[in-house]
Amino acid sequence: MAKSPILPRIQALDAYVPGLSIEEIRSKYGLDEVIKLASNENPLGAPPLAQEAVKRQASSIFRYPRGGNPRLRQALAEWHGVSPDRIATGNGSDEVIDLLIRMTAHGGDHNIVCFRPCFSIYPIQAAINGVEARRVPLENDFSFNFKSLLEQTDTDTRLVFVTTPDNPSGYCPQLDDVRQLAESLASKAPLAYLVIDEAYMDFARDEKKSSMLACHELPENVVFLRTFSKSFGLAGLRVGYAVMPECLADAFWRSRLPFSVNILAEDAALAALADKAFRQETLQTVAIGRDYLNCELLSLGCKVWPSEANFLMFQIPGNSLSARECCEKLLQQGIIVRSLASYDLSENIRVSVGNKHENKQFIAAMRRILAK
C-alpha cells in the first residue's frame, strides 16, 4: 500500500452502513407508501411543541448557541431531580459515548468492556480511539451474564457498557443485579465507570423497577445515558445526554466541542420536555403497539423475544425462508425493518413499534410472506 499519514487503526475501520432510506425504497420499487420500522424512531413523529420551537428559532440561526447548554441542563436536572452539575449534553448520545472513552481511556494502556452483540458505537469509538474493547458474549436467551462481564475487567478497565433495555433484543436486567454489578465493579476496578445506556428506559413496563436513575440512586461510579432520539422524537436534531458524577461532568464540559448541541436542537429539546401530551401518547402508542405486534407475530409462528423497548426482535418459523429473504420481501412491499446481520444475528429481525396503521401494514405483509 502507498505511504499514507492516516493511522493504521483508522485505515482498518469498516465504513458505517446506514439503514435504507424511505426515498431509496420508494424509487427502487416504485411504491407510493413506504413504512420505516428500522431505526426505533418515534411512531408519532416530532412533538408539536418542538416543531413550533424550531420555527420560532429559525430567525436566530445566525447566532452561536450559548456555550454549555445551561437552560437544557437546568431543565434536565429538574426532570431527573438531580443537580445541573451532573448533566452532560451532546450531539446525540453518540458524542457522549465518544467523549467518555476519550476522557478516560488511553490507547495501549486501558480497556473498555461490553457485550457481544451490543450497540455498535461502543466498540467502534473504542477502535477509533485505539482503545481495546473486551467483548463478553450474551447468553443464548440474550440475557446478561454480569459475572462474565466482571471477569473481563481489571485495574486498567475504564468503562463498562451495559444497555438496558438492550438493543437489539429488548431484554431488561433486574435492577438488583445492575446495582450489584456497580458495587462489585467499584471494588474490582476502582477507576472504572459503569455506563448504563438507558436510551429505551422510558418504554420499560415499570421504569422505577428497572432504573437506578429513576429511583434517584446515583452511585459515584455510574454514568446514565439518555437520548432525545427515541421517546422525545428528535432523532434528526441529535441531542443526547448523561447524568454522571460531578467530577466527570466537569471534565466533560472542558473536553466537549463548545457548540455541538446547536441552537435549534437545544430549543427543540426544551420544548420536547414540556410537551407532556405528546410524550404520554408516545408511551401509550408504544405499549399498545408492542403488545399487538408481539401477539400477531406469535400467532404467525414466529419466535419473539420479550422486549421492554420500542422494538421487538423475532425469528420467522420454519426454514423455507431466511431472515434476509424475509426482509427483502418486506422491502418489496414498502416496509423497512432491520436485518440483524451487522449484529452477527443473521437469523433475527428487529422491527420498531410503529403507529397503529404501520403496525397493521407490517403484520399484513408478514402474513402474505409467510403464507407462501
Query: Rg of the chain's alpha carbons, rounded to an integer?
Result: 21
Q: Which is nearer to ligand PLP, 213 or 366 (CB)?
A: 213
In the numeric block, the cell 448520545 is attached to 93
In the numeric block, the cell 431509496 is attached to 24
Kindly indicate which of the ranges 50-58, 92-100, 332-340, 359-367 contains the residues binding ligand PLP, using the contact rule CB under 6 A: 92-100
In the numeric block, the cell 399484513 is attached to 364
Among 42, 93, 169, 285, binds ligand PLP (CB under 6 A): 93
Q: Which of 203, 260, 197, 261 is nearest to 230 (CA)?
A: 203
Kindly indicate which of the ranges 89-97, 150-158, 317-325, 345-353 contains the residues binding ligand PLP, using the contact rule CB under 6 A: 89-97
In the numeric block, the cell 450474551 is attached to 138
Site string for ligand PLP, 253-292 (x = CB under 6 A): ----------------------------------------
Q: Rounded CA gap, 219 and 114, in Å? A: 20
Q: Rounded CA gap, 240 and 44, in Å? A: 19
In the numeric block, the cell 459475572 is attached to 147
- Please report, as a single letter, which amino acid is at residue 219: P
Counting contacts by CB under 6 A, is residue 189 touching ligand PLP?
A: no
Q: Are the C-beta atoms of 106 and 130 separated by less than 8 Å?
A: no
- Please report, as a single letter, which amino acid is at residue 103: M
Kindly indicate which of the ranges 101-109, 142-150, 223-231, 287-295 contains the residues binding ligand PLP, using the contact rule CB under 6 A: 223-231
Cβ count near 175 (within 10 Å): 18
Counting contacts by CB under 6 A, is residue 119 touching ligand PLP?
A: yes
Among 167, 307, 310, 361, binds ligand PLP (CB under 6 A): 167
Among 41, 197, 275, 308, binds ligand PLP (CB under 6 A): 197
Counting contacts by CB under 6 A, is residue 92 touching ligand PLP?
A: yes
Residue count at the site for ligand PLP (CB under 6 A)? 14
Shortest separation between residue 187's beta carbon and ligand PLP, angstroms: 27
In the numeric block, the cell 438531580 is attached to 82
Interface with ligand PLP (CB under 6 A): 40, 92-94, 119, 163, 167, 197, 199, 227, 229-230, 235, 240
